[in-house]
Amino acid sequence: MNIMSSSSLLARAEAEVLRTFQLTNQHSLTGNFAQPILEEKTMRKLDRAFAPCLMAVVLLLAGTGFATTPPEGIIHDAEHYILEAQHGEKWATEDTELDERLAELRKKFGTPPNIIHIMWDDTALGEVGIPEIQAVRGFETPNMNRMAEEGINFMRMYTEPACTPTRAAFQTGRYAVRSGMHTVSFPVEYSGMDAEEVTIAEVLGQAGYATAFYGKWHLGDTEFSYAHNQGYDEAFFTPYNQVPSMWVKEAESANVITGLYPEMYATDKYDIDNSWQPRGSVWTLEGTKDGKTNEWGPPPKVTNYWDIETEAQKRTLAFIDKSVAANKPFFIAYQPILLSFIPDPRDPVKKTANKNGLAEGLVKIDAFVGKLYKHLEEKGIAENTLVMVMADNGPFIHYGPRGMVETLYSGGKGDFTEGGVRVPCLATWPGTIEPKQIVGDILHVSDLFTTFARIGGAMEFIPTERVIDGVDQTSLFLNGDGFSRRDYVMIYQGPNLAAGVKGRFKRDWKNATPGLSKNEFYDLYTDPRERTGEMIEQFHVKSMFNRQRQRHELWIEKYPNRPDATPGPALTGIENERPETRQIYTIPVDVEKLPFDPEEVSGQPLPFSTSDL
Amino acid sequence: MNIMSSSSLLARAEAEVLRTFQLTNQHSLTGNFAQPILEEKTMRKLDRAFAPCLMAVVLLLAGTGFATTPPEGIIHDAEHYILEAQHGEKWATEDTELDERLAELRKKFGTPPNIIHIMWDDTALGEVGIPEIQAVRGFETPNMNRMAEEGINFMRMYTEPACTPTRAAFQTGRYAVRSGMHTVSFPVEYSGMDAEEVTIAEVLGQAGYATAFYGKWHLGDTEFSYAHNQGYDEAFFTPYNQVPSMWVKEAESANVITGLYPEMYATDKYDIDNSWQPRGSVWTLEGTKDGKTNEWGPPPKVTNYWDIETEAQKRTLAFIDKSVAANKPFFIAYQPILLSFIPDPRDPVKKTANKNGLAEGLVKIDAFVGKLYKHLEEKGIAENTLVMVMADNGPFIHYGPRGMVETLYSGGKGDFTEGGVRVPCLATWPGTIEPKQIVGDILHVSDLFTTFARIGGAMEFIPTERVIDGVDQTSLFLNGDGFSRRDYVMIYQGPNLAAGVKGRFKRDWKNATPGLSKNEFYDLYTDPRERTGEMIEQFHVKSMFNRQRQRHELWIEKYPNRPDATPGPALTGIENERPETRQIYTIPVDVEKLPFDPEEVSGQPLPFSTSDL
């Protein structure tokens, strides 16, 4: 059965579900926004009149099987099928033509295209790729700006609102809520991205790609979540974010008391619990697929922290050389950790008039991007390499470092407003992506998973028993403005659905309260800063957003999310473990002396206990 | 005596004043921000210890004469001389080279260059000239965006915060506070720009330019303030803004009760004062220099309102033709009134996905800009014509029409924050202005007065007995980024100094209170949205801003401002006056029956009294 007829069936069945649901909108949608619509309480209410009929239809779609016709191949979010039902034929025609182009390229270059993806932190849309904006912000990124001249400047790339979730969505092609990686991790987490999640490295690796990850991983501190245990042939990565750089001696003015480096602090005679705070940190690990894990570099201090970046960049170029020598296509994910909270003490002269950490970091990333392009030219592979750069979420405006500011949108890191989830994003592929494109279509970071798989000839390795939110945007990349296969985004904050986007329209679910008030709708052309929610003017999209959410939650019922990052012991399996590394991640309490079982309390396996030391 | 030695003397004398003043900063600068620093009370305080010394120096500069050396030629604001003392020699060298280039151009084309300046309402920086921003706002202005490709995109053009003040500064080359035109006018004003103000039309006219004004004048309703009585050879203009368009029948949903068109409203039996509201309006006048004034068009209704624009554009092109035929250089100021509050009922189909008035209006202005360039090409004068487009102030976000929003800066029309006073601004001059320039230098709308005069060979006609704030920015236009002769702006709200700008730094004077709090400084690179005033981090510019203000106010002492727009009867001298025109601007009260003299009460000449009817 082909997807078209499957989706037609879906559309019909869905329409039936929704007709029934509409009658209950007032009740189900104005309650606690964090609850799925199909929550038990609602079902009980429905039971009185509609439940028998409703249940029949729900079961038809969400039960043991879609009658007899579940979607075949990749399962997308339900919203996707609404579009496919309308544009499937056009897409199929485009795909035939795209397949031909990709086949020709492969013939011309001998391998599928190389893919290099660079993603840094906390940058507002427009801060990179729009030199006019940089002119008023006091810095310049000429190399990345040139990407806009020579490729696509995506004006509507959505991410998740924070680091860990965006990185999870990038790796898995799924909204972070599906993998349980919806919340930013900090040392020590005792959890990580589940081993059963399938990363883009695993997908491309099966299609013959050499894969490498360098930089800020931020997807857990458990052994199973290490980057080289998640499909990367080579990995050099920080399990956490940049925050530990605030905790060293050189950063004392930041005035944080975490206890990570207790030698910094005077004794506090009232501090009698030695189990309360971690006593140190590991910054960087390295490993190879199915190989050993090692801690990299000397113990943490600020200068070493900055060495991580240098090393990540060096390895990126070396991995290119190695892959070219082996005549293998490669996929490199480089996620700079440059935006440290502490400036590099070895390089005190500012590079920008702006002078703040973000601008200084962007200029340094930009210098590497220039070097990278030169390297690709020198290796003769520039025309067979897709390069993408982007940020992972909006600026850290809430008590973050100075100089991170809103540009066109309101809010920043952590927020569901556009400022939290729309980032600069640029792509080049000389000869294949047309130069000088400004693309206004919606795309989502998860789309890169599917698009890279398509471009790399690896679609068959995408898992088909779970929802893959990422849609194939190859047509958008190769055909340009107006060719997106997505006009929607579901925006989560942690595990909660906070907003829905559909084209120019946006629905604030987070602040919805029962009744009339706070049922806020935004027209993002009219009110891009989401200042004044409109109810009267957008009555016509009210039910549409209700249905969008219902479809989305129906799919969650059928393909459940992992509730959280998967628990496990932290930072185990390090070959060159320092004595203090082992010690600092150990709870210094004899658990035998406790009247309760800590594992039962936390639901997590314990780290090493004192008895292991 | 040359200016250099004069300014050196000034700098020395000023330093002396400021050393003395510094001792009193704490007192003088934290008081009522609306008061000049040299106010009498402060002087009394100073009297105890410093006044004799201070007064000597003040008199030296601000008294009956600058010792024996006042500045010669154009008098700029005092801040200018601080820069000239540092860069005067470099500027002189540049000027010599610029003079040669202008002379060559004149030789090549036979006349000085034509100048066309277009200035519309209420648009945030970036809404025009940055297609990336338009991609997320749902509209396109391809012709004006092409100006950025073929000329300069000014990223830091400052205006006054509102319509009337910006237009006054443009016409006179002076901060609006100096001409008394600091406050937005509404019907009926009984006042206007003083006859003694010298407009750019008067300056260029004396140098042989044909001059014309079309569109929204908004500089008063008195006969002496009419555009053709202020130096324009031809004028077709609205004395007021667009607001009257809200008051006609078609706009009833706007729900305003002004009484301008009383036939619209039901009788209110409690309304017993016939003198309270005006009873009608005049929308458009036309006239020629030293000629008659006529009302244009049929009586106000929405369709006619939109005809104003069509007519203004038609006349703009016709004036070009006439000037070319007469082999005269021309200066045209076209100030569109397009952003009506009411859509054109004859053209109901939206031109933009955005759909709001601003976007729809910009697209219409853009279409005319395209037509204009084509016309200049056809007439063979494209390379001898400087074309500039800009907005008059930030977006009308405070209870204005929908779809006017902040972009990169906070605030809008009326505000002293950057969002109120920074506007899109583009200029082309093929062959003379280099293409594809993004210019980050500060310039101010008043600079156009001086720059146009310089380009037009009319510097000698600029008055030299008053302060001209506009500095000559010919070097910036012809040499590009980094060549501005201004790094400062004084931002007024009405008659009050609200903020000072110096390079990246900004001082909020409006919210200053005595003592520590609210003495807010901003670094516009770090905090472009002016969210978090810094005191500790910017201690080093505190005294500098104090001095900037002191210098500025010293100059006001010496060259006093007009307190307000000059009063006079409204809308007199109209040849084809309608009976109702005369009637509606007449106070329908027999003043002989009053126990007081209305002229004495208002300080203004009375409009016609009932006895004149």
The answer on pLDDT for A61 being more than 50 is no
Angle between helices B357-378 and B302-325 (to 10 degrees): 20
Residue A60: per-residue pLDDT: 41
Please return the burial class of A198, using the count of CB atoms within 10 Å of its CB with bins 0-12, 13-18 and 19+.
Answer: buried
Choice between A600 and A22, residue whose per-residue pLDDT is larger? A600
Residue B70: per-residue pLDDT: 61
- Per residue in A509-549, pLDDT (tens digit) is 999 887 776 778 999 999 999 998 888 888 889 999 999 99
Ramachandran area for residue A497 (φ above 0: left; ψ -120 to 50: alpha; else beta) = beta
Say which amino acid occupies A286: E
Confirm or reject contact between A12 and chain B (CB < 8 A).
Answer: no
Contact between residue B482 and residue B503 where contact means Cβ atoms under 8 Å apart? no
Distance between CA atoms of residues B496 and B561, nearest Å: 12
Choice between A113 and B255, residue whose per-residue pLDDT is larger? A113
Confirm or reject contact between A439 and chain B (CB < 8 A).
Answer: yes
Between A131, A137, A524, which is nearest B525 by CB? A137
Residue B395: per-residue pLDDT: 96
> What is the ipTM, given to two decimal places?
0.85
For chain B, which residues score pLDDT lower than 50?
A: 1-10, 13, 16-17, 19-68, 609-613
Contacts for A106 with CB less than 8 Å, ≥ 6 apart: A112, A457
Mean pLDDT, range A36-46, rounded to an integer: 41
Residue B205: per-residue pLDDT: 98
Distance between CA atoms of residues A28 and B180, nearest Å: 60
Between B356, B406, B440, which is nearest A135 by CB? B440
Residues of B in contact with A407 (CB under 8 A): 407-408
Nearest to A195 by CA among A235, A167, A223: A223
Confirm or reject contact between A399 and chain B (CB < 8 A).
Answer: no
Q: Which two tokens stand for residue B589?
A: 């009260």
Other CB atoms within 10 Å distance of the CB of residue A563:
10
Between B129, B132, B355, which is nearest A155 by CB? B132
The answer on pLDDT for A55 being more than 60 is no
Contact between residue A216 and residue A335 where contact means Cβ atoms under 8 Å apart? yes
DSSP-derived secondary structure letter, B364: H
Mean pLDDT is lowest, of A49-53, A405-409, B561-565, for A49-53
Between A131, A138, A527, which is nearest B405 by CB? A527
- State the DSSP H helix or E strand holding residue A120, giving kind and residue range, or none if neither: strand A114-120
Could you please report the per-residue DSSP string of B407-476?
A: SSSS--TT-SSHHHHEE-EEEE-TTTSPSSEEE-S-EETTHHHHHHHHHTT-GGGS-SSSB------HHH
Which of B137, B147, B525 has the highest number of chain A CBs within 10 A, making it the mutation to test binding with A?
Answer: B525
Angle between helices A357-378 and A302-325 (to 10 degrees): 20
Antiparallel, parallel or unpaired: β B285-288 and B234-238: antiparallel
A36 pLDDT band (50/70/90 cuts)?
A: very low
Other CB atoms within 10 Å distance of the CB of residue A480:
15
Q: Do the Cβ atoms of A135 and B439 come within 8 Å? A: yes
- State the DSSP H helix or E strand holding residue A119, giving kind and residue range, or none if neither: strand A114-120
Residues of A in contact with B133 (CB under 8 A): 126, 130, 408
Contact residues, B window 122-141, toward A, CB-based 8 Å cutoff: 125-126, 129-133, 135-138
Confirm or reject contact between A48 and chain B (CB < 8 A).
Answer: no
Contacts for A520 with CB less than 8 Å, ≥ 6 apart: A507, A508, A511, A512, A533, A534, A535
Say which amino acid occupies B143: N
Contact between residue A409 and residue A529 where contact means Cβ atoms under 8 Å apart? yes
Mean pLDDT, range A158-174, rounded to an integer: 98
Q: Do the Cβ atoms of B354 and A440 come within 8 Å? A: no
Please return the burial class of B602, using the count of CB atoms within 10 Å of its CB with bins 0-12, 13-18 and 19+.
Answer: exposed
Residues of A in contact with B406 (CB under 8 A): 529
Distance between CA atoms of residues B164 and A202, nearest Å: 64
Q: Do the Cβ atoms of B525 and A356 come within 8 Å? A: yes
Q: Do the Cβ atoms of B405 and A438 come within 8 Å? A: no
Between A131, A402, A407, which is nearest B526 by CB? A402
Distance between CA atoms of residues A91 and A489, nearest Å: 20
Contact between residue A471 and residue A171 where contact means Cβ atoms under 8 Å apart? no
In our burial notation (b when 16+ CB lie closer than 10 A, e otherwise), range B236-261 reads bbbbbbbbbbbbbeebeeeeeebbbb
The answer on pLDDT for A34 being more than 90 is no
Rounded to a whole number, what is the distance in Å from the CA of B427 to chain A's nearest CA?
Answer: 15
Mean pLDDT, range A543-569, rounded to an integer: 95
- Per residue in A124-141, pLDDT (tens digit) is 999 999 999 999 999 999
Contact residues, A window 521-560, toward B, CB-based 8 Å cutoff: 524-529, 531
Nearest to A508 by CA among A30, A20, A21: A30
Between B129, B131, B406, which is nearest A529 by CB? B406
Between B138, B438, B531, which is nearest A135 by CB? B438
Q: Do the Cβ atoms of B130 and A131 come within 8 Å? A: no
Residues of B in contact with A506 (CB under 8 A): none
Contact between residue B579 and residue B229 where contact means Cβ atoms under 8 Å apart? no
Mean of the per-residue pLDDT values of chain A: 86
Confirm or reject contact between B142 and chain A (CB < 8 A).
Answer: no
Confirm or reject contact between A487 and chain B (CB < 8 A).
Answer: no
- Per residue in A324-368, pLDDT (tens digit) is 999 999 999 999 997 667 778 788 889 999 999 899 999 999 999
Phi, psi for B39 (deg, rounded to 5): -65, 165
Residues of A in contact with B439 (CB under 8 A): 135
Which of B125, B128, B130, B133 has the highest number of chain A CBs within 10 A, making it the mutation to test binding with A?
Answer: B133
Residue A70: per-residue pLDDT: 61
Residues of A in contact with B131 (CB under 8 A): 438
Q: Do the Cβ atoms of B526 and A356 come within 8 Å? A: yes
Residue B596: per-residue pLDDT: 84
Other CB atoms within 10 Å distance of the CB of residue B382:
18
Angle between helices A51-62 and A40-47 (to 10 degrees): 130
HEC secondary structure over B205-220: HHCCCEEEEEEECCCE
Looking at the DSSP assignment, which residues form a beta bridge with residue B238?
B216
Contact between residue A128 and residue A424 where contact means Cβ atoms under 8 Å apart? yes
Phi, psi for A284 (deg, rounded to 5): -140, 135
Contacts for A394 with CB less than 8 Å, ≥ 6 apart: A122, A123, A124, A125, A161, A406, A409, A411, A412, A413, A415, A419, A420, A421, A422, A423
DSSP-derived secondary structure letter, A255: -
Helices and strands (H and E) in chain A: how many: 18, 17
Residues of A in contact with B138 (CB under 8 A): 504, 525
Residue B581: per-residue pLDDT: 76
Q: How far is CA B222 from the centre of its chain?
A: 19
Contact between residue A497 and residue A512 where contact means Cβ atoms under 8 Å apart? no
Could you please report the per-residue DSSP string of B15-33?
A: HHHHHHHHTTHHHHSSS-T
Between B131, B359, B440, which is nearest A136 by CB? B440
Other CB atoms within 10 Å distance of the CB of residue B564:
17
DSSP-derived secondary structure letter, B72: P
Q: Do the Cβ atoms of A525 and B402 come within 8 Å? A: no
Residues of A in contact with B136 (CB under 8 A): 125, 155-156, 408, 440, 524-525, 528
- Tell me which chain B residue has its CA closest to the CA of residue A148: B132
Contact residues, B window 348-387, toward A, CB-based 8 Å cutoff: 353-356, 359
Confirm or reject contact between B149 and chain A (CB < 8 A).
Answer: no
Choice between A303 and B587, residue whose per-residue pLDDT is larger? A303
Q: How far is CA A213 from the centre of its chain?
A: 15
Other CB atoms within 10 Å distance of the CB of residue B600:
8
Does the N-terminal peptide bond of residue B57 adopt cis geometry, omega within 30 degrees of 0? Answer: no
Other CB atoms within 10 Å distance of the CB of residue B422:
29
Antiparallel, parallel or unpaired: β A566-567 and B293-295: unpaired
Angle between helices B539-558 and B51-62 (to 10 degrees): 60
Distance between CA atoms of residues A435 and B306, nearest Å: 40
The answer on pLDDT for A31 being more than 50 is no
Residues of A in contact with B135 (CB under 8 A): 155-156, 438-440
Distance between CA atoms of residues A589 and A270, nearest Å: 18
Q: Do the Cβ atoms of B504 and A138 come within 8 Å? A: yes
Confirm or reject contact between A156 and chain B (CB < 8 A).
Answer: yes
Distance between CA atoms of residues B411 and B418, nearest Å: 7
What value, to the nearest 5°, has the Cα angle with vertex B496 and ends B451 and B122?
60
Residue A29: per-residue pLDDT: 39
- State the DSSP H helix or E strand holding residue A489, giving kind and residue range, or none if neither: strand A488-493
